[in-house]
Structure 1
Amino acid sequence: MAAEHTERDYARARERYAEMGVDTEAALAALAAIPVSFHCWQGDDVGGFEDTGAALGGGLAVTGNYPGKARTADELRRDADAALAIVPGTHRFSLHASYLEAGRPVERNDLRPEHFAGWADWACDRGLGLDFNPTYFAHPLAESGFTLAHADAGVRRFWVEHGIACRKVGASFGDRIGRACVTNFWVPDGYKDTPADRRTPRERLARSLDEVFADPIDPRLNCDAVESKLFGIGSESYVVGSHEFYLGYAIRHGKLLCLDAGHFHPTEGIADKISAVLMWLPELLLHVSRGLRWDSDHVVTLTDDLRAIAQEVVRGEYLGRVRFGLDYFDASINRVAAWVIGARCLLKALLAALIEPTALLRQLELAGDFTGRLAVSEELKTLPLGAVWDHYCHTKGVPVGRHWLDDVRRYEREVLANRT
C-alpha cells in the first residue's frame, strides 16, 4: 500500500511539473548519474589508522562522543556499506592518507598503493569510485601549524614527499577502478595572530606545490585539486592557502579548485563563485559542508545555501564539470545517520534544481519580467518535490521518507552497540 501511495503521489506531482514544462523523468535520470563522494572521516571522527602520537591539530576539532565509532578499517567499511545502502544512486568514497592499512608504522612520505589495497578491493567489489586526500595534520612535523609552507627546508621536503606519494596512491586507485581519483590538497598552514610577513610563506607554499606536482599523471587516473580556507582554530589571522592564492594557482597550473562551503566567511556563500571560477577553470570540486558561525563542519541539511549551490550548478549547465564531495564530522549523533542525512539532502537539493523550469525562468528574466521571475520562483517552493524524491528512492530500492532511520536504528542495535 505504501508503494501505491508513493506512485500515486508521484503521478500527480509529475503532472504539476509538466504544466511548467518540466520532465521529471529526465530530471531523475540526470540525478542518477551524479555521484557523491562520501568522506571517510565522518565515520571515526577523523581518527585514521596510524599512531603518530600527535593531536588532531590543523584547526580541526570534533565534538561529541556518540557510541559506536569505527575502530578499524573493516568496521569503517561496514559502516559505510550501511550508509550507502540507503542512499539512492552509485557513489564514491573519499579517503585520507591516515586511513592506511599497513600492519606496521609507515611514515607519510613512504606511503604506497599497497597500504590502501583493502580499500581498493572494497571499492571494486561495490562499484565505487575512490578519492584521496593527503593528511597534512595530526603529525609531529605539523604541530607548528606549518607544513608545505614551513620555514625549515627539511620539514617542507618531508611534506612534499608526502604529497608526491599521495598522488601515486590516487593514480593507483584510478588505474584499478577505471575511474579517475581526485586527490585533493588542503594544508592548514597559517598564523593565530597577525603576521609580519604574509608574502614569504605563500612563496614557499607555491614552490612546494610545484615540486609535488612536478611529475605529470594521466588525468584519466588522477586529477589534482587544491583547497582554500579563510581561517581556522590556530590560524584565525592568516591562512597561507587563501581562496585568492589557490584560485590563481589552479588557473595557472590547470588544477581543480576545491570550494568548501565551510571555508569562507559565515555570511559568504559559495554559490555565486561557481560560475565565476568556471569561466577560467575546466572543472571544480565542491566540498559540501555546513559552517555554523565558523568552520564547524555541521552535517549538511537542506538549507537555502545548499539549494543555491545546486541551483547554480544546474542552471549553469555545469553538471559535467563539477564534482561533489561531503565534508563534515559530527560525533554528537549516530555517525552512519550523519552520512545518510548529508548525502540525501545534497541529492534532494540537486533534484530540486533539476526539476526547476529553468527555461521559463530565463525567458522571464531575458524579457525583463522580474515580477514574473520572482513569482514563479516562489511558487516553485511549494510544488511537490517530496513526491518526486520518494518515487526516486522507491525506484532505486532504498527506504522512502523517514523509514531509512529504521535501518540505521537496527544497525545501531545489532552492530554499533556492541563496540566498546
Structure 2
Amino acid sequence: MNQSVVNSYNEAKKLYESHGIDVDQVLKQLSEIKISLHCWQGDDVRGFLFRDKELSGGIAVTGSYPGRASTPQELREDLEKALSLIPGKHKVNLHAIYADTDEQVDLDELEPRHFEKWVEWAKEQGLGLDFNPTYFSHPNAADGFTLSHTNDEIREFWIRHGKASRKIAEHFGRELGQTCFTNFWVPDGYKDTPVDRLAPRQRLAASLDEIFSELIDEQFNVDGVESKLFGIGSESYVVGSHEFYMGYGISRGKAITLDAGHFHPTEVISNKLSSILMFSKHLLLHVSRPVRWDSDHVVTMDDELLEIARELVRGDLLSKTSLGLDFFDGSINHLAAWVIGTRNTIKALLRAMLEPVEELRKIELAGDYTSRLALVEEFKSYPFGAVWDYYCASQGVPVREQWLNEVKRHEQEVLLKR
C-alpha cells in the first residue's frame, strides 16, 4: 500500500480517536454493508426479454452514450468491471425483463430457470441478487394501469407476474444464501385529475393481497412496496401514493420502499426513515438524486445523501435497511455512473460513521445545543478523505480518481467495439 496513504490514515485516526471513534472498527463495519447495484443502468432499462419494445409506463432515459450492454453476458461483464472499482462486497438488483433465456416467454410465465445464468454468475462472484417485477413497457400496461386496472384479465395477468416474481426471488435467496429483497412498483395513475381516487386503490390493494397470499420464507425473500408522487403520464394522480403504501406495508407486514426521487421536489426522505422504522420491520432505500420531477440522476455527494447516511447511522437503522441504487443516465459512461453513485453512497456512510454520535447525543440530552452545532460543523472538515483512501486501498480498489483510468480503458477496449 502507498505509504503516503498509510501515513495520512494514521494521522486521521488520531483526530477521530480523540473523540472515542475506533476507525478500524468503523472500516470493518463499513465492509459488511452491501449496496444493491441496479442492473438497468447498464443498458438504459431495455432488458432482454422484449428486445424490440420501447420504454413506456413513465420510464424515460435520456442520452445515447456509446457502449451500453445489449446482451446478458455484456451486462455481467460491465457489472464485474464496475464492482472491481468499488470497495466492499455487494449485490446486483435485477428486473424481470433481464431474464437470460432464448425462450419466448411472457412476464407471467417467468420461472427461476429463466434466471439460472444470473444465479450461476452471482455464485461465482460471491454476490447476492435482488429482484423487481416489471410493470412497464408491455402491451398490458399501455394505458398506464396494471394491478389497479379495471379489466379483470389484464389485472390477473399482472397478478400472475407478481406471483412468479416472488418465486424467482425465493430461488435467488435459497441458492445464494442471501435474502433477496423484491420491490413492487407500479406506474398506475392518471395524467389528469380523476373523479374516483378510491376505487383504483381498492383494486391495487386487492391485487397485492392476492400476490402476497402465498407464504414465502422471509429468510429467502422479503417483499417491499414503493410509492411515487407523480411521473410521466401520471402527473395528477398515482394510485400507489406514499400514504397508500405506508398504510399497506405496515398493515400487511411488508417492507416499505423509499426512493429519494419519488416525492415533491422540495421533500426529502432522510426525515422519514426513523418514523417508518418505528412501525415497519424493514426499509428498502432506492438511493438516487432527484432533479425537478424524477430520480434518474447519478448519486452525488449532496446534502440529502449525507443526511440519509447520518440518519441511518445515528439511529442505528442499518440492520433494518436494504440499500440499493436507482438511476438511469444514458448521457455518460454507463460503468462510470455505477461507480460514482456507489462509491458516493459508501463514502457518505463512512462520513456518518466517523461522527462522534454518542458524544453528540449526550451533549444534546444535556441541552447544550451550542456545543452540538459547533461539533457537527467542525466534523464536516475532519479528514474522512484520508480514511476513505485507506479503505479503498485496503479493499484492493483504486484510490481517488484512479478508477476513472480503468473505466476509460474498458471503454476503449470493450464498449466502443460493441
Bin of the TM-score, shorter chain as denominator length: over 0.9
* Paired letter, 1:186: W
* Paired letter, 2:113: E
1:3 aligns with 2:6: no
Question: Against the structure 1 CA distance between its residues 341 and 52, is the aligned structure 2 distance closer, same or farther, given a 3 Å change threshold?
Answer: closer
Partner residue, 2:205: 206
Partner residue, 1:65: 64
Instruction: Measure, in 2, the Cα distance between the counterparts of 1:278 and 1:104.
Output: 42
Partner residue, 1:98: 97
| Deviation (angstroms), 1:297 | 1.2
In 2, are the aligned partners of 1:134 and 1:184 still within 8 Å (CA)?
yes
Post-superposition Cα deviations, 1:310-340, rounded to whole Å, max 9, x if no partner, equal: 0000000111101100000001000000000
Matched residue of 2:285: which SS? Answer: strand
* Paired letter, 1:99: Y
1:162 aligns with 2:161: yes
Matched residue of 1:347: which SS? Answer: helix
Question: Against the structure 1 CA distance between its residues 139 and 333, is the aligned structure 2 distance closer, same or farther, given a 3 Å change threshold?
Answer: same
Post-superposition Cα deviations, 1:79-101, rounded to whole Å, max 9, x if no partner, equal: 00000001000000000000012
Instruction: Measure, in 1, the Cα distance between the counterparts of 2:390 and 2:148.
Output: 50
1:235 aligns with 2:234: yes
Instruction: Measure, in 2, the Cα distance between the counterparts of 1:93 and 1:387.
Output: 28
Partner residue, 1:223: 222
| Deviation (angstroms), 1:252 | 0.8
Question: Against the structure 1 CA distance between its residues 201 and 53, is the aligned structure 2 distance closer, same or farther, given a 3 Å change threshold?
Answer: farther
Listed as ranges, the gaps of 5+ residues in structure 1 are none
Question: Against the structure 1 CA distance between its residues 308 and 373, is the aligned structure 2 distance closer, same or farther, given a 3 Å change threshold?
Answer: same
Post-superposition Cα deviations, 1:152-210, rounded to whole Å, max 9, x if no partner, equal: 01100000000000000000111111111111100000001100000000000000000
What is the TM-score with the length of structure 2 in the denominator? 0.99
Partner residue, 1:276: 275
Instruction: Measure, in 1, the Cα distance between the counterparts of 2:52 and 2:196.
Output: 31
Partner residue, 1:148: 147
Counterpart mapping for 1:276-355 below 5 A = 276-355=275-354
Listed as ranges, the gaps of 5+ residues in structure 2 are none
* Paired letter, 1:3: N
Instruction: Measure, in 2, the Cα distance between the counterparts of 1:382 and 1:62.
Output: 36
* Paired letter, 2:250: I
Instruction: Measure, in 2, the Cα distance between the counterparts of 1:210 and 1:53.
Output: 33
Instruction: Measure, in 2, the Cα distance between the counterparts of 1:11 and 1:158.
Output: 59
Partner residue, 2:18: 19
Question: Against the structure 1 CA distance between its residues 108 and 52, is the aligned structure 2 distance closer, same or farther, given a 3 Å change threshold?
Answer: farther
Partner residue, 1:407: 406
| Deviation (angstroms), 1:51 | 2.1
Counterpart mapping for 1:320-399 below 5 A = 320-399=319-398
| Deviation (angstroms), 1:54 | 4.1
In 2, are the aligned partners of 1:54 and 1:140 still within 8 Å (CA)?
no
In 2, are the aligned partners of 1:315 and 1:358 still within 8 Å (CA)?
yes
Matched residue of 1:320: which SS? Answer: helix
| Deviation (angstroms), 1:52 | 7.0
What is the TM-score with the length of structure 1 in the denominator? 0.98
Matched residue of 1:267: which SS? Answer: coil
**Greater than 4 Å deviation, 4+ residue runs:** none
Q: CA RMSD in A?
A: 0.9
Counterpart mapping for 1:21-170 below 5 A = 21-51=20-50, 54-170=53-169
In 1, are the aligned partners of 2:262 and 2:295 still within 8 Å (CA)?
no
Instruction: Measure, in 2, the Cα distance between the counterparts of 1:87 and 1:394.
Output: 11
Instruction: Measure, in 2, the Cα distance between the counterparts of 1:335 and 1:199.
Output: 40
Matched residue of 2:318: which SS? Answer: coil
| Deviation (angstroms), 1:53 | 5.2
Instruction: Measure, in 2, the Cα distance between the counterparts of 1:51 and 1:376.
Output: 54
In 1, are the aligned partners of 2:260 and 2:295 still within 8 Å (CA)?
no
